[in-house]
Structure formats: C-alpha cells, structure tokens
Structure 1
C-alpha cells in the first residue's frame, strides 16, 4: 500500500498552471483545480501521485493527491477531504493551501520531513465535484449544498446531502428522510450516493492504516468531534477533546480567532450519517470536522481577502492534530486523556463485532 519510489528534487516555491502563477488566495473553479492537481503531480513526480477512487453521479472523476516519501515499508495514512458541501468554497481553498505548505516545507522542516517518511497524506480538494461545478454556474446556484443525483420517484428536486449519507446512525437525527428538496435530505438508504460510496470503499478498505480523518467545512469556527448523535460518546472522547482544544489554541495563536471544540450536539446541532462519525466507527482514532471562518457575517460567501488568514490558522490546527496522531502511533507519545476504561471499552466493542448499526 502506501509506497513511493525516490525523492523529488523539485521545491514548489510558487506553482504555475499553464504558465500562470497559481493564486492560492482566490477561489478557483473545478477546471483550474484539476489543472493545479495535474501540475502539482508533474512538479513532484516521486512524491505526489493522483489517485482516482470513484465517479460522481454525473460521471466525473473523484481524485485525490497522495503525498509522501518512499521508505520501502508499509506506511500509515492521514485523510483530508474538502468540498463535500458545494457552497463551502473556502474548504477546497484550504486543501490546496495545505498541500502547498507541506510540499514547500518538508525539506527544511524536520518534523514535516519525518511525518512524510512515516505517513502518506491523502488529500481530496473537492469531493462533491458535481455540486461544486453547479455552485459556480451563476448567482442562483452559488449556495447549492448537495450533490446532483436526482430525487426519488415523485420528487422534482435533485441532490442528497453527502454528509448525511454515510453508514453512521443513518437517517435517525438531524436529517430529512422524506423531503428530497431539503438541504439535509439523507438519500434513500445509507451510502446511496456514489461520492459517499467512493470514500467508504477507499478508506474503509484500509481503515486500520489511517491515523486521522479530517473533513473540512464552513462555516462557524468549530472543531467537531464524534459523535453527532447525543446519546453516543466516542471511547476516546477525552483524548479527542484534549487534542481538539490544543488544536484550537494553535489556531488562535495565528490570528486570534476562537474555535469552539466539542461534539456536534453540544456546540452545533445533532446529526447522523456524517463522514466523521463513520470514520470513527471504522476505528480511525482521530476524526474531526473543521468548520472554518466565519461566524456568519459572510457565511458561505467568505471574501477572498480572508482566504489567506483562514488557511494559515486552520493549517496550524490541522498540523497539531496530525502531529499528535503521528507521534502517538510512531513514537508512543500521547496525552493522559485516554483512560484505561475507554480503551478497554473500545477493545470489547471491537471484539464482539459491534457495527455502526448496533453501536448507534
């Protein structure tokens, strides 16, 4: 699994796409993001590869960038996806910024270099490709959220909320089961949508190798941890909270922005069927949803002059979580937050074959 051959000698100081310097601090339509992905892989042929892992409803490719250094050994993984909700344009901007940062710094930053040797980063800049393209169509579609699959028979509306479609307490709370026109319509069944299926197959097929699962959204300035159901607590809840609070502190140190940390029912609203909850149920220990800027002044239409500070602070928070997950797995370094009782409970649940259907 997670292998590369060789080490790139190219340092990406400023990306160029078709001869034009790529602007990381503006929003880009899907064709430009695709060109950027291709150029990044071309600039780093031994460190970056493009992986196609699915098709959208409209038969477009779902691609990610796999980033890491070759060691000849099996490696762990870090997952990051952006753009699961079409209108949240700041999220794909952040994924691109994150890729740029680790590629710029791994040769000079010893910690980044170490992590690049021990883990591969799997970064999907836009998961909901159809919806994202539709949100760029005109002003009437700018706030489109869902994917573009047709509604069930008898419903004239299109789209399913992909972040309500995963097999994690699907269809029980914080969703709409019947109104396909709703922004939180969860689909006809768990993983009914090809985009959710693509993530489920790719990550689920090797979930034991992933150390962290970060899904990037907006807005609200929140760090959400499992679970979205108010009656379920993650077995490593204390550790998730401690790591999340430290990440929020790292975010605050950059530009002074406050991020609230907690489960969705406690700091936002209850929901079911999220990719974050699904990832935690797969045994991935650190699963978080980032809700980037702002707190509602601009909402989903965050001005471009806020892209840079938003990305800078979110990078600091994400890097804290990733570093913690790496150091715990590779070096056995951890906080004291994960209690013996929690660890024992999780082991017992896995031993008896608990699934998302029974746990939730």
Structure 2
C-alpha cells in the first residue's frame, strides 16, 4: 500500500530506509520530475558526506518565495526522514491535479532536506547499540573521549544560554562555539543567504506530538507570537481531523523544556516569519523506535498540519495574486 512507482521501481514510503536508499530515491525523484525537481548540494558533514536537498517548484524565471523543511537533524528520529520523503511524494502527486498546490508550486519553491545529520543517521543503522545515537559524529574537544555535538543546540540563537550541556558526552552538548559543526553551518549559509525568500522554516523531529514555536529561551518572545500560536493551533486541528491525534502547541519552555541554539529559533531571528518544530509521534510507549506500522498515519496527519502552515503563509503573502 505504501509503495509508489518511480521510473518503474517500487519505493515503500511506509518503512524506514537506510541512507543509500534515500540517496537513490532523491536521484530518482529528480529524474522522474525534471520539470520541477532538482537536487542541490549545499554542504558537507564532518565525515565529508554531501548534504543535499530537493528543490521543488515550477521554474517561472522570476525570483520566488520559498519554504524550508529539514528532517533528521537528530540521528535516531527515523520517522522524520520518512516524513520528508512522504511530503515530497504528496506535493509531487497533487500539483498537477490540485489547483491550490499548483498555485503554490508556481509562487514558491520547496527546499526539502530528507536527512541533515547524515553521519549520525548512518551510525544509527549499524547496530542495536547505536540505534539511539542523537548527535553528529564530529570528535569532541581534545580532552574528551566522547564524539558528537547536538546540532540543534549549535545554531547561533541565544547559544548556550539554557537547556544545553557543556559535557561533551551529553546528548545535548552544544559544541565549542556557535556553528562549530559543518551541518549547522550548511543550513545557516544556505538559508541565511536567501533569508528574505523564505516564508516558512519547518524542522521535523520526534517524539512527543508537539508543534513548537520560537523561542526556546523563556526570556525571549517572538514578535508574532500570537499569530504563530493561532496558526499552530489551527494546524493541530487539521492534524487531529486525520486520525484523532492531539498535538500540543506552544513554545518549548511552555510545553517541553527550555533550550537554546535551535535551528527554529535561529530561523525566526533571521526574520523568517513562520518557524516551527514538529515533534511527531510517538509518546513514551515507543519513543524514538516508532514501529513501521505507524509511519503512514504519522505522515498523513503531519502532512495536514504542515500543509496548513504552508498554505497560510502562501495566502498571506500572495493575497490577490
């Protein structure tokens, strides 16, 4: 049921895929949809793997607005890359028959990174003992025996002020300085150099069934806090309509825990108006090891939520177009 044919090859969107399969899927999507899909390489991991995204949109010849989505910034959150792939499939399926998606693909480009933390993701596939690895794979400071930095504590956004650890063995180790990690640098440079184009910055995580808005530091409030909450609550309503799943909406300190140095907060500080973190299923029953039979409902409901935010941002920007 989850398989879709791309260039005559079956791809099952409702199971987890190792990195080589995701890379080959990206190449096939670009070949199968050459009019609207291109692969853009925009950085390297610590282990010198290329970080790539799919740029999806109709080439109008004009400068366009844009939507950002990244998945897999935390290695063990396998449902996130699964969602990015599903999201790509859905927008490519719908834009030729759905007038609204066709309009959005004409006015905006979608930049989707299926796996940002490629080194860490590959590490989680090696064995049961590495399955729950969270960080990237860069070595710690010279006096540390542990590897890895939490990429979502490494962005230049109130860096190292709250909700982080300076212990290099901690899952929330923030690095030696802001943007010490090449993966965080790649996002910063790519998005930052085009920040006026981006309307939405959606970063996909698990778990907890949450929609988080800026900021992770409780001492700061987003200038459009009320609008972010309103749009987020409406997105949560759309999520609930699909399978009855209830998502909680709020700032991280209000509904989860305080943190700093996240990509979401960095994006909002750059002036990107709609910055959200999706924390997908599950709860504490399965945690990061969400069974494959939950991939489909998780993706279906999250797609409805993401589409609401994206559509809202589009319509506000292009009202009357």
Residue in 2 aligned with 1:39? 28
1:8-27 alignment runs, 5 A limit:
14-16=4-6, 20-27=9-16
- Distance in 1 (alpha carbons) for counterparts of 2:225 and 2:70: 22
Instruction: Provide the aligned C-alpha RMSD in A.
Output: 1.1
1:60 has 2:29 as partner: no
Residue in 2 aligned with 1:218? 206
Specify which of 100, 110, 132 is matched with residue 89 of structure 2: 100
1:89, distance to aligned residue in structure 2 (A): 0.1
- Distance in 2 (alpha carbons) for counterparts of 1:192 and 1:222: 28
Residue in 1 aligned with 2:244? 256
1:139 has 2:125 as partner: no
The one-character-per-residue Cα deviations of 1:288-324 (angstroms, maximum 9, x if unpaired) are: 0000001111000000000000000000000000000
- Distance in 2 (alpha carbons) for counterparts of 1:292 and 1:14: 23
| TM-score, length of structure 1 as denominator length | 0.87
- Structure 2 contact 6–32 (Cα < 8 Å) conserved: no
Residue in 2 aligned with 1:168? 157
Residue in 1 aligned with 2:70? 81
Residue in 2 aligned with 1:241? 229
- Structure 1 contact 166–191 (Cα < 8 Å) conserved: yes
- Distance in 2 (alpha carbons) for counterparts of 1:187 and 1:141: 21
- Structure 2 contact 42–51 (Cα < 8 Å) conserved: yes
- Distance in 1 (alpha carbons) for counterparts of 2:76 and 2:59: 36
Residue in 2 aligned with 1:355? none
The one-character-per-residue Cα deviations of 1:43-77 (angstroms, maximum 9, x if unpaired) are: 01111000000000000000000000021211000
Specify which of 285, 289, 293 is matched with residue 297 of structure 1: 285
Q: Which has the larger radius of gyration?
A: 1
1:286 has 2:253 as partner: no
Residue in 2 aligned with 1:199? 187
1:14, distance to aligned residue in structure 2 (A): 2.3
Residue in 2 aligned with 1:187? 175
| TM-score, length of structure 2 as denominator length | 0.98
- Distance in 1 (alpha carbons) for counterparts of 2:222 and 2:6: 43
Residue in 2 aligned with 1:115? 104
Residue in 2 aligned with 1:271? 259
The one-character-per-residue Cα deviations of 1:156-183 (angstroms, maximum 9, x if unpaired) are: 1000000000000001100002x10000
1:15, distance to aligned residue in structure 2 (A): 3.2
- Distance in 1 (alpha carbons) for counterparts of 2:320 and 2:232: 19
- Distance in 1 (alpha carbons) for counterparts of 2:254 and 2:303: 24
Residue in 2 aligned with 1:30? 19
- Structure 2 contact 43–50 (Cα < 8 Å) conserved: yes
- Structure 1 contact 66–122 (Cα < 8 Å) conserved: yes
1:330, distance to aligned residue in structure 2 (A): 1.0
Q: Does the residue aligned with 2:188 lie in a helix, a strand or coil? A: helix
- Structure 1 contact 57–130 (Cα < 8 Å) conserved: yes
- Distance in 2 (alpha carbons) for counterparts of 1:220 and 1:140: 23
Residue in 1 aligned with 2:39? 50
